[in-house]
Amino acid sequence: MTVKLFVTAIVFVLIMVGAMYHFVQPGKSPLARSTTGVTVPPGEEVENNSQLSRWWRRFQGDGEPVQANNSATVATAPEQPTCKRVWQKGRSSWFDSRFDENIRPVWSRANIELPADARKWWMSLQSKKDEDPAPLLNALFDMGAPDVDPWATHNLTGCLRCAVVGNSGNLKQSNYGEEIDGYDLIFRMNDAPTKGWEKDVGHRTTHHFMYPESAINLPDDVSFVLLNFKPLDLKWMKTALTDGSITRTWTNVKGRIKTDKTKILVYNPAFFKYVNDKWTEHHGRYSSTGSLVILFAVHVCDEVDLYGFGPNKHGNWNHYWVPDSSYHGAYHKATGVHDSDFEHLMLEKLHSEGIITIHRGNAD
């Protein structure tokens, strides 16, 4: 009798263990099939997360069950964004044949000595005599202007996204403001007013590109990037921060300006020549401010987006802060020393090759 009871007990335990094991298997029990109140299609396994299942998996030594195919409870890792890194070769043979990373856009102590051909070409633009620019540049460095290139090397752990904001009338009613303000670096040039135009052009600026004839006061959090077309521009930059003694170049200029001297950067004349040789290909006497800033961005940024370039919806090449009625047709397109048609084609080519992205505003 005792033996019978013992055998019966053993059989009962084995039956219960087998039933329990069957009960917690994926897709076999009601709990496993309907833990979220959703009928599971045949063949689709959803892991049961009940206390019984967790106990049984621990008993088996497998740890906690892993939930799979259950969008209501599984948090997927965010997809890592890709970074274009426009300066990397291999995307476009047209771009690769022109791009030279060895010529840096920032003039620093490391590249203070200009190549002879670059110096001769730069001096011929607006200067009447040849003079050594190194002492003029060193004078700015001694005053506190940075003497190193902040983008001498690329940071591969991040993605530096830059917006180059032109002054075209196609920015009117574009509602680009919030979008523009979201970039890491925001480059503007010449007048570029933002107050009252924030909805269309944004309010942030990190770098403002100007020359003496277009200079304006800047807040302390904005870097003045000097587009120096001649040695006199370097002299003006120094006096504009000190005694204000230079008030005229080829036209009247501000004697003094307000800007943080520790954020002043100087555009490299050798890079001027490189843009003229390789990108605008000697069309016009020298490249426009817009092209100079865009190619600057292409060499320091990972991604480059353009706003405010090209005509507006009426085909006029006007400024966004000027009434449309002030311009007719392509009046503002011709500047005399630049070939705007060729430069426009160059920008379109950069866009079509996937190097930059052009946002056309109200011209779309």
Q: Do 214 and 191 meet the contact criterion of CB atoms below 8 Å apart?
A: yes
331 as an active site residue: the answer is no
In sequence order, what are the residues at sequence separation of 6 or more whose Cβ sits closer than 8 angstroms to the Cβ of residue 114?
Answer: 122, 133, 269, 270
CB 278 within 8 A of CB 137: no
Identity of the amino acid at 88: Q
107 is in an annotated binding site: no
Is 211 annotated in some ligand binding site? no
Judge whether 111 is annotated as a binding position.
no
Catalytic residue among 208, 332, 338, 359: 338
Q: How many angstroms separate the CA atoms of 180 and 201, rounded? A: 7
Residue 362 assigned to a binding site: no
Annotated catalytic residue: which of 286, 307, 320, 327? 286
Q: Is 250 annotated as a binding residue?
A: yes
Q: Is 51 annotated as a binding residue?
A: no
Judge whether 263 and 222 are in contact, CB under 8 Å. Answer: yes
173 belongs to an annotated ligand binding site:
no
Report which of 289, 272, 276, 141 is spatially closest to residue 214, judged by C-alpha positions.
289
Residues 6+ apart with CB under 8 A from 67: 46, 47, 49, 73, 74
166 is in an annotated binding site: no
Q: The sheet that has 265-266: what strands, in order across it?
A: 265-266, 223-226, 207-210, 185-189, 161-165, 303-307, 356-359
Cβ(238)–Cβ(140) under 8 Å? Answer: yes
The answer to whether 319 is a known ligand-binding residue is yes
Tell me which H or E stretch contains 32: helix 30-33
Q: Is 286 a catalytic residue?
A: yes
Residues of each annotated binding site: 126, 167, 190, 250, 286, 290, 310, 319, 338
Residues of each annotated binding site for substrate: 126, 167, 190, 250, 286, 290, 310, 319, 338
The catalytic residues are 286, 338
